[in-house]
Amino acid sequence: MIEKNEVLIETKDLRKNFGDLQVLKGISEKIYRGEVMTIIGPSGGGKSTFLRCLNMLEEPSGGQVIFEGVVLDAKSTDLNRHRQKIGMVFQQFNVFPHLTVLENITLAPTLELGVSKEDAEKEALELLKMVGLEEKVHEYPRKLSGGQKQRLAIVRALAMHPDVMLFDEPTSALDPEMVKGVLDVIQDLAESGMTCVIVTHEMGFAKQISDRILFIDDGIVAESGTPEELFEHPQNPRTKDFLSKVLY
Amino acid sequence: MGLGPGLLDVLRDYYPIFLRGMVGTLKYAFIAVSLGSILGAFIALINLSKSKALNTLGAIYVNVLRGTPLLVQMYIAYFFIPIAIPALNSVSKEVYVLIALILNSSAYVSEIIRGGINSVDKGQTEAARSLGMTASHTMTKIVLPQAIKNILPALANEYIAMIKETSLAGTFMLYELMYTRTLLANKFLVWQPLFIIAAIYLVLTLVLSWGVRSMEKRFSVSD
């Protein structure tokens, strides 16, 4: 087990309202470097919103997000620079349809990090090989299956050399037979030491991969713990109720 | 007195006049839409900005220009600009009328551009920003290239509509198709030029519409 004592991301009393609706009601959590944290909970409970606050895709209504010691929601923060270090993978893939597979990966590193085209392409090819997409390098995303698009989205984020990867229900939009290929990539990544925060409905996967699981319900962390603590000995009645509905 | 010379006779005798009118029409429509597009892009950015105050200004601009007749706008430009901005007094009156056309076009184009940008899935912007791309790179490298295939056909349609709208400029002696009617009326040709002009407008719009349709088809293939 890796020593996990360096705090990578910390939230302090994180709140988010959409109009009158309080979606996050004050979440204070620490995510350590190298940690694999999954977030489970009922739909509408705030887990995706929490994740999206970590890279400021949602602007918090209150509280703080501190990434590598920098308060992200401070006005003076150069958000783009820090976002380069926070990879994100979306439920709907969001690959760029007007760019080839290769360009999807090389665009941000060349544009924002000043990496040369040759270096970016060389690395992109290695990344594509890693996820079994090397033959698609010059295709456009419309020729890819859902699972292939999601693997492309993962390596697109990795090309920026992030310190953490956020996954927002990465397999929820996939056909069942595509799920495993994507989960395998995430698992390899987690085992290589990448810090991962994963919102998922794949309970078996969460149980197997996580160092720690957060159960977010009604805008708060209702319970958290190791997979064993949460799945075998849940304390909170809401956790028990949720697990009884999703485990069968 | 009969009908006078036939359509073909008039066309044969005066085709240089019609030709010059047609070139004028295409030219004015092109100037209006291309300069209107540049201005319209700015208006679209104002309407898409996060500032409520700018949004309101942009909405007023678009609503006023789309909610009042172009002919009224041309009259105002024609008579009011020389009074309001004496420095422009020496400029040809053609420019005043063109300004009205450009402003009018910019209002329509801004809505076309805004619609095109809004048609791009929000997830595209989120993905780009999550990679740490700047707002302007996100716009120029991700959003606009995808918006353009919705924008270009609509812009071409705006050009076709503008070809008809420029007929109002003849009222102010700008040499375009409709103005040829005035020229030939002086030669006691009353009805023939009208049919010839109408036919030229029809051919222009039909041919260009056909071009736009094949452009749309090409774009939809790449989806």
Instruction: Count CB-CB contacts under 10 A for residue A110.
Output: 17
With an 8 Å Cβ cutoff, is B140 touching chain A? no
Treating both helix axes as pointing N-terminal to C-terminal, what angle do B7-48 and B52-67 enclose, rounded to 10 degrees? 160
Confidence of residue B210 (pLDDT cuts 50, 70, 90): very high
Other beta carbons within 10 Å of A45:
22
Residue B121 vs residue B218, higher pLDDT:
B121
Of A57, A80, A98, the CB nearest to B145: A98
Mean pLDDT over A88-110 rounds to: 97
Q: Which residue has the tokens 């009604």?
A: A218
**pLDDT tens by residue, A150-160:** 999 999 999 99
Instruction: Give residue A99's pLDDT band: very low, low, confident or very high (50, 70, 90).
Output: very high
Residue B112's φ and ψ, nearest 5 degrees, are -65, -45
pLDDT of amino acid A1: 45
- Give me the mean pLDDT over the A82-97 stretch: 97
Measured CA to CA, the distance from residue A165 to residue A192 in angstroms comes to 12
- Average pLDDT estimate for B51-61: 96
Backbone phi and psi for residue A216, each to the nearest 5 degrees, phi listed first = -105, 125
Contact A94 B134 (CB under 8 A): no
pLDDT of residue B217: 82
Q: Which of A98, A149, A169 to mutate to test the interface with B (most CBs of B within 10 A)?
A: A98
| Minimum mean pLDDT range among A148-152, A162-166, A224-228, B77-81 | B77-81
Question: Which residues on adjacent β-strands are paired with residue A66?
Answer: A10, A71
Give the largest Cα separation in chain A, rounded: 55
Choose among B124, B132, B223: nearest Cβ to A96: B124
The C-alpha angle B87, B90, B95, rounded to 5 degrees, equals 95
Of A57, A84, A90, the CB nearest to B132: A84
What CA–CA distances, in Å, run from B6 to A16, A94, B2, B182?
76, 63, 11, 18
- Does position B110 have pLDDT exceeding 60, yes or no? yes
Instruction: Specify the length of chain A in residues.
Output: 248
Helices (H), chain A: 47-54, 79-83, 101-112, 117-130, 146-158, 176-191, 203-209, 227-232, 237-246
Q: Measuring CA to CA, which residue among A31, A24, A69 is closest to residue A49?
A: A24
